[in-house]
Amino acid sequence: MRITLKVWRQKNAATPGRMVDYRLDDVSEDMSFLEMLDVLNESLIAAGEEPVAFDHDCREGICGMCGVMIDGVAHGPEMTTTCQLHMRSFSDGDTITVEPWRADPFPVIKDLVVNRGAFDRIIAAGGYISANTGAAPDAHAMPVPKADADRAFEAAACISCGACVAACPNGSAMLFTAAKVTHLGSLPQGQPERDDRVVNMLHQHDVEGFGGCTNIGECTAVCPVGIPLDTISQLNFDLRHALGRGH
């Protein structure tokens, strides 16, 4: 396949970026999107030009490290991560625009790489169950109804990629935050800290500069693991409940 790429190049956070065009003549449809970028980078290095920086690690759709806007859509045309997108989703002769996630709390580091450290800080604000090591009760001491376990699992699947933020017109990280609140709040172990958790995580979410949720739903439309929108209702419910109890 012949592909024209328009790629965002930005030397560092302090330097303004711009789009640069590249042509690739020999793209196979079995390549992943990132392998296509590898091929681009090899040709850039051969030409003495700095390769395009992009984040990735597992290339299996699970670490959440990769992620770029492809033709204006987070992770591109399929409901998957950028590393699991394959060139068979494109056609010969296509022009593809590649840009970094755009959101104020995700500053660009270089080219397609952004800083998503805000997510870790939201988790540190309460996205855990306080269980010290060494004295846990037997795992079978507390049965969890399968429906609750499944619900927890579904929400726990969030890979923290940030696509939901990049897609949201408000730059909200509500889907990410709601996924964690729902995961831990669906389990009996998560109950003691449930009120504090939602209040503290949301507080941190706002401190980081993420926008509010106005129920647009762009987030779930791009989420590679299909975190459902109703986790946000769950978060709102938990928040009202917590505030009602004076948190």
Partner 1 sequence: MTEQLVAGLYREGAPVRDTKAPAGPIESRWSKRRFDARLVNPANRRKLSVIIVGTGLAGASAGATLGEAGYRVKSFCYQDSPRRAHSIAAQGGINAAKNYRNDNDSTYRLFYDTVKGGDFRARESNVYRLAEVSANIIDQCVAQGVPFAREYGGLLDNRSFGGVQVSRTFYARGQTGQQLLIGAYQALERQVAAGTVEMFTRHEMLELVVVDGRARGVIVRDMVTGEIETHLADAVVLATGGYGNVFFLSTNAMGSNTTAIWRAHRKGALFGNPCFTQIHPTCIPVSGAHQSKLTLMSESLRNDGRIWVPKAGGDTRHPREIPEAERDYYLERIYPAFGNLVPRDIASRAAKNVCDEGRGVGPEVEGVRRGVYLDFADAIKRLGLEAVRSKYGNLFDMYQRITGENPYEVPMRIYPAVHYTMGGLWVDYDLQSTIPGLFVTGEANFSDHGANRLGASALMQGLADGYFVLPNTINDYLADGPFATVGEDHPAVAEAAANVQSRVQTFLGLQGSRSVDSFHKELGQIMWEYCGMERTEEGLRTAVEKIRALRDQFWTDVRVLGEAEELNQSLEKAGRVADFFELAELMCIDALHRRESCGGHFRAESQTEDGEALRHDDEFAYVAAWEWGGMVGAPPVLHKENLVYEHVEMKQRSYK
Fill in the amino acid letter for 80: T
Which residues in 161-200 contact partner 1 (CB under 8 A)?
183-184, 187, 189-190
**Residue recorded with tokens 């408000």:** 170
9 near partner 1 (CB under 8 A) = no
Show contacts with partner 1 in window 94-133 (CB under 8 A).
109-110, 113, 115-117, 119-120, 123-125, 127-133
Site string for partner 1, 14-53 (x = CB under 8 A): --------------xxxxx-xxx-xx-xx--xx-xxxx-x
CB of 59 to ligand SF4, least distance (A): 16
DSSP symbol at 21? E
Q: Which residues from 113-172 bind ligand SF4, rule CB under 6 A?
A: 158-164
Near ligand SF4 in 92-111, by CB under 6 A: none
State how far the Cα of 57 lies from the Cα of 39, in Å rounded to an integer.
Answer: 17
Beta-carbon contacts of 231 under 8 Å, excluding residues fewer than 6 positions away, are: 155, 175, 178, 179, 181, 182
SS (H, E, C) 67-128: CCEECCEECCCCCCCHHHCEHHHCCCCCEEEEECCCCCCCCEEECCEECCHHHHHHHHCCCC
Judged by CB under 6 A, the chain residues 205 through 234 that form the site for ligand SF4 are: 223-225, 227
Stretch that binds ligand FES, among 45-53, 59-67, 133-141, 174-182 (CB under 6 A): 59-67
Expressed in angstroms, the distance from the first to the final Cα of the chain is: 58
Query: Helices 230-244 and 174-185 sit at what angle, rounded to 10 degrees?
Result: 70
Q: Which two tokens stand for residue 98?
A: 């590649």
162 binds ligand FES (CB under 6 A): no
Q: Which is nearer to ligand SF4, 227 or 239 (CB)?
A: 227
Residue 61 makes contact with ligand FES by CB under 6 A: yes
Q: Give the interface with ligand SF4 as residue ranges (CB under 6 A).
A: 158-164, 175-176, 179, 223-225, 227
Q: Give the interface with ligand FES as residue ranges (CB under 6 A).
A: 56-59, 61-66, 81-83
